[in-house]
Amino acid sequence: MSKVRNGGGGNPGVAMRIGGVCPGGDGFAPSALGTREHWDAVYERELHTFQEYGDTGEIWFGEESMNRLIRWMQKYKIPLDASVLDIGTGNGVFLVELLSGRIIEKEGLSNIKLKVEDFLNLSTKLSGFHVCIDKGTFDAISLNPDNAIEKRKQYVKSLSGVLKVKGFFLITSCNWTKEELLNEFSEGFELFEELPTPKFSFGGRSGNSVAALVFQKM
């Protein structure tokens, strides 16, 4: 089990979407949340807080976002020894949660391998993963001030390279709707399942604040 991490700890921010027009042409205003400097600083603070107070840090999209993924993996009987890549793992809470209970008691955290890598420019050959997880990383990359459109395309390429054929990609996003994600990952991936997420209503319309989709690599 590996996790690709771009720097240190995390703290939720606000993704700004400008109705219709934006510098990158995709509706998003570039933001510090799309930069490595931001995340390095955030995780450095989280690490410090962890060392000082034992606080494990921010759970991006909340506990339920982790449980939802774990339930799905149990439902589809993803074997305990399957290789799982948590892309942009942040403080790593999800992987610890995934291994919690039996495995951690028996083997500690030895099944988690940490790698500091830019997922858009991988320096080592990562491939053959059964499952790739993304919880907020594609969102962050979409806010990169430096050619986010190109970076999103590179993300899809990197994802194709690391995931095995028929492997699963589980993405949770607060910036992209289901339809938009289907479009972003239309090449080489097909929708396997949409995971239920909380709904909200406003002004007579309802929607989901978060989209959670499972894709399968073709």
Ligand X SMILES: C[S@@+](CC[C@H](N)C(=O)[O-])C[C@H]1O[C@@H](n2cnc3c(N)ncnc32)[C@H](O)[C@@H]1O
Contact positions vs ligand X (CB under 6 A): 4-7, 10, 39, 60, 88-90, 94, 118-120, 135-137, 140-141
Judged by CB, which is closer to ligand X: 170, or 204?
170
Give whichever of 83 and 126 is closer to ligand X, judged by the CB atom. 126
Closer residue to ligand X, CB minimum distance, 141 or 210: 141
30 close to 144: Cβ distance less than 8 angstroms? yes
**Which residue, 20 or 54, is less far from ligand X as judged by CB?**
54
- To ligand X, the closest distance from the beta carbon of 173 in angstroms equals 10
Q: What is the nearest approach in angstroms of ligand X to the Cβ of residue 117?
A: 6
Rank residues 106 and 113 by Cβ distance to ligand X and give the closer one: 113
Task: In angstroms, give the least distance from the CB of 56 to ligand X.
Answer: 10
Q: C-beta of 101: minimal distance to ligand X in Å? A: 20
From residue 28, alpha-carbon distances to 6, 21, 68 in Å are 21, 8, 27
What's the closest the beta carbon of residue 130 comes to ligand X, in angstroms?
A: 18
- Residue identified by tokens 């909380």 is 198
